[in-house]
């Protein structure tokens, strides 16, 4: 198999560091669930879950049932929660692969009930409640009727209640605490609240509202080394820092010098104002380097920053290395990560894109060859 010019490096040690740190934040009375949906935010779902399994993680979250099946077939042990619902044609997979459905409608419950009865077994379900996200989930005022209806269905047992915070990345906001109070009121309605697994905290909840960890907290972006409020959270961290798990390394293909007045790349959106030395890199929007970074993005070469010049192409881009001595073909280039004394983070790239680190990691990780390092 050939080797790509572009390498996504995934640090197992950074991943384990973050898992340990976040587990300590939620405390000994709550489980930490690792969100590994979206191919573990670009880090590789199977490999990431395997590392976390070895580190002691026994709770995982995915979006679709097919992801849960892949985890089980790879040997992952513990509870696997499917958060996005399912097609009725796939209901048997929950039983065959020991997956836990998070449901938000009675039709799904009925389908699960029929399958459970057919198999002469009982399946555990968690119910998603919409306490303010306005996404998936039943409204709190409907929970009483919904849980009563579940109790009438054979083969199903309600073992958990879930919700989600939309603004927990705002550490100084009181919205999350108010939303948590709505969630807490459900416990009395549920009846056997002391035996239910309650979970609402995401990364922001774990880091900024630790009292919301309940019985289980779901770590997503923080597990991969980023704060949900980006650079603000990183700068405000007084304790042990999260460590970014992903780096993106490439190399220089060619170096060329052009005079002043020369247009660069498609559309000539950048025209040189002086003699300019350009390094051509084998990275483009197919590799996750968003076209929106044209004339905005920066990379590290010889430990110094080089600006993207001209439009980013499908597989190539150009950076200005006029101020960096000795750059030649084959030299290492950092798109994401550290080189020398400088670092380009997912948060910084997200800022140039007017986006968030989540998107940056998914774009890079899901579009390039990954290599796992210690």
Phi, psi of 178 (to 5 degrees): -65, -40
Which residues, other chains included, contact 259 with Cβ-Cβ below 8 Å and sequence gap of 6+? 272, 275
Clarify whether 19 is annotated catalytic: no
**Strands, DSSP E only, in the chain?**
7-11, 31-35, 59-62, 79-82, 100-103, 123-128, 156-162, 197-199, 216-219, 246-251, 254-258, 263-264, 270-271, 276-281, 298-301, 304-309, 317-320, 332-339, 342-344, 370-373
Determine the straight-line distance between the first and last CA of the chain, rounded to whole angstroms. 23
314 a known binding residue? yes
72 a known binding residue? no
Clarify whether 37 is annotated catalytic: yes
Strand partners, 373: 11
Under 8 Å between Cβ of 366 and 288: yes
Both structure tokens of 313: 């192409």
Query: Cα dist. 234→53, 152, 194, 231 in Å?
Result: 27, 48, 36, 5
1: exposed, middle or buried (Cβ count in 10 Å: 0-12, 13-18, 19+): exposed
Q: 3-class SS at 89?
A: helix
The residue from 118, 178, 256, 266 that is catalytic is 266
Measured in whole angstroms, the distance separating CA 59 from the mean position of its chain's CA atoms is 16
Ramachandran class of 339: left when φ > 0, alpha when ψ lies in -120 to 50, beta otherwise: beta
What is the number of other CB atoms lying within 10 angstroms of the CB of residue 46?
Answer: 17
Q: 3-class SS at 250?
A: strand
The residue from 37, 41, 104, 285 that is catalytic is 37
Pick the closest to residue 70 from 102, 41, 101, 47 (CA basis): 47
What is the number of other CB atoms lying within 10 angstroms of the CB of residue 362?
Answer: 17
Q: Which residues are annotated as a binding site?
A: 135, 314
Query: Which residues are part of the catalytic machinery?
Result: 37, 266
Q: Which residues are annotated as a binding site for substrate?
A: 135, 314
């Amino acid at each position: 198999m050939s080797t790509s010019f572009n390498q996504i490096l995934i640090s197992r040690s950074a991943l384990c560091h973050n898992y340990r740190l976040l587990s300590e934040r939620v405390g000994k009375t709550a489980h930490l669930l690792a969100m590994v949906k979206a191919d573990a935010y670009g880090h590789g779902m199977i490999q990431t879950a395997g590392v976390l399994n070895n580190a002691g993680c026994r709770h995982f979250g995915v979006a679709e049932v097919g992801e849960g099946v892949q985890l089980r077939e790879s040997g992952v042990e513990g509870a696997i929660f499917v958060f996005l619902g399912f097609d009725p044609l796939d209901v048997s997979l929950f039983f065959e692969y020991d997956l836990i459905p998070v449901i938000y409608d009675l039709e799904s419950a009925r389908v699960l009930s029929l399958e459970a009865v057919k198999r002469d077994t009982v399946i555990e379900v968690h119910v998603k409640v919409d306490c303010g996200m306005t996404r998936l989930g039943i409204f709190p005022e409907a929970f009483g009727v919904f849980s009563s209806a579940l109790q009438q269905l054979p083969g199903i047992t309600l073992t958990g209640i879930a919700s989600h915070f939309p603004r927990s990345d705002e550490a100084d906001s009181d919205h999350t605490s108010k939303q948590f109070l709505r969630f807490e009121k459900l416990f009395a309605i549920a009846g056997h609240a002391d035996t239910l697994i309650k979970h609402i905290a995401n990364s922001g909840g774990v880091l900024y509202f630790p009292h919301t960890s309940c019985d289980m907290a779901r770590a997503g972006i923080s597990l991969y080394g980023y704060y949900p409020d980006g650079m603000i959270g990183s700068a405000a961290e007084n304790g042990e820092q999260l460590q970014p798990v992903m780096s993106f390394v490439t190399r220089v293909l060619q170096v060329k010098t052009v005079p002043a007045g020369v247009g660069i790349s498609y559309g000539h959106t950048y025209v040189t104002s002086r003699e300019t030395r350009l390094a051509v890199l084998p990275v483009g929007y197919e590799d996750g380097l968003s076209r929106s970074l044209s004339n905005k993005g920066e990379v590290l070469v010889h430990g110094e920053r080089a600006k993207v010049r001209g439009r980013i192409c499908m597989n190539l881009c150009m950076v200005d290395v006029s101020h960096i001595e000795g750059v030649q073909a084959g030299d290492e280039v950092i798109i994401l990560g550290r080189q020398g004394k400088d670092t380009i983070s997912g948060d910084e790239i997200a800022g140039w894109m007017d986006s968030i680190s989540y998107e940056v990691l998914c774009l890079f990780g899901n579009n390039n060859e990954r290599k796992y390092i210690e």
